[in-house]
Amino acid sequence: MSAESLILFFIVGAFLVGIALLFSSLVPPTSSNPQKAEAYECGIPTEGITWLQFNVGYYLFAIIFLVFDVETVFIFPWAVMMKTMGMTAFIEIVIFFFVLGIGLLYAWKKGALKWE
């Protein structure tokens, strides 16, 4: 790919993004109803303070779950290619599981898996 075609690619991409942003600001209907700015809680008006502090442990637990959940997606292509790649694929997955295990042990040691 030449430099000219790469520059053209980025210019066309920027142009299309600009057109999409312009179109999305012109097309949708707008409403000046003050209820649109209120927080939505299943149709029930909120009572009291709506800004509550949550324990950061919930956030860490969710992030760790997502990391391990996404990492398991990489196991499926590996399983499909295991027969054709042979020992190379096996060594790669052993390293992959080792890194995941180290991350899990680190999170466990730091107490990120405690649900309190």
Tell me what the mean pLDDT of segment 62-75 comes to. 83
> CB-based burial of residue 15 (10 Å sphere; 0-12 exposed, 13-18 middle, 19+ buried)?
exposed
Residue scoring higher pLDDT (48 or 98)? 98
**Domain 3-110 is found in CATH 3.90.550:** no
Q: Is 20 a residue whose pLDDT tops 80? A: yes
Q: How many CA atoms lie within 13 A of 86 on its CB side?
A: 1
The reported pTM is 0.49
Q: Are 107 and 64 in contact (CB under 8 A)?
A: yes
Question: Residue ranges of the domains in the chain?
Answer: 3-110
Residue-level pLDDT at 48: 73
Rounded-to-integer distance, Cα 51 and Cα 24, Å: 31
